[in-house]
Amino acid sequence: MAQPTHATTSDSHCSSCACGHEVSERAKVTTSSLREKQAPIKDLYKKDPSKAFVTLSAQGTLSNTSIACKLSSGAAIKEATTRVAGLHPKAGGDNPDVSGELCSGDMLLEALVACAGVTMKAVATALSLPLKDGNIRAEGDLDFRGTLGIDRDAPVGFKEIRMSFDVSFENEISEEQVERLGKLTERYCVVLQTIAKKPEIKLRVRGAYESEDGIERAELWARST
């Protein structure tokens, strides 16, 4: 349920502060450039909704040397010293292979692959299953009309997520062992279970600024889902 919000001021706009005007001008430029970039994309999706669909994916590999999962990323992202999230190209973002920026949806799938991979390797070790190596892949279908506010009926999040585990073992194993490995991986994978069983989420946004009298003021919005 929504929690009460508290505002320390009724006017969040500065009418005479030079610094405030500079911030406003920068915001206008950013807003204008984003709208210019997204306008043709939105028009395209309105005319042809199929163009708004994309399947994001993430991949990881397992080995018999450690309880870990190695993720695969683009060259520019590998070279980056800091992980940077940006808009997906279908939402007006730059090519991630050039910018090194990842869509947050890609990051979510990577987290899912990483967690599932580590969990599977840990479960296999606990069960004394001789897991040799493996490949894990997660795919998620997105309709960008949702997050771009084009169609209220379009989902904002992933409509479907699919995972596949292709693993090999040092020696023969039974169907029952493979089934148990899969079930226990599903049961104990934290990210998978977090996605599957919606947790309570608490949101809080605090916007602070300095007023004309030099006093810091803030607007607060909070909500629990």
> What would the pLDDT profile of 20-47 be if each residue is shown by its tens digit?
434 444 444 477 887 888 888 888 888 9
- Domains plus CATH for the chain? 48-200 (3.30.300.20)
Amino acid at 143: D
Q: Tell me: the pLDDT tens digits for 80-123?
A: 556 778 888 888 877 777 777 788 898 999 999 999 999 999 99
At 189, is the pLDDT very low, low, confident or very high (cuts 50, 70, 90)?
very high
Q: How far apart are CA 3 and CA 213, in angstroms?
A: 30
Amino acid at 39: A
* Burial letters 20-31, b for 16+ CB under 10 A, else e: beeeeeeeeeee
Q: What is the pLDDT of residue 14?
A: 40
Report pTM. Answer: 0.74
Do residues 51 and 45 touch, judged by C-beta distance below 8 A? Answer: yes
Do residues 60 and 136 touch, judged by C-beta distance below 8 A? Answer: yes
Q: Please name the helix (run of DSSP H) or strand (run of DSSP E) that holds residue 184, with its range, or none.
A: helix 175-188
Q: What is the pLDDT of residue 78?
A: 55
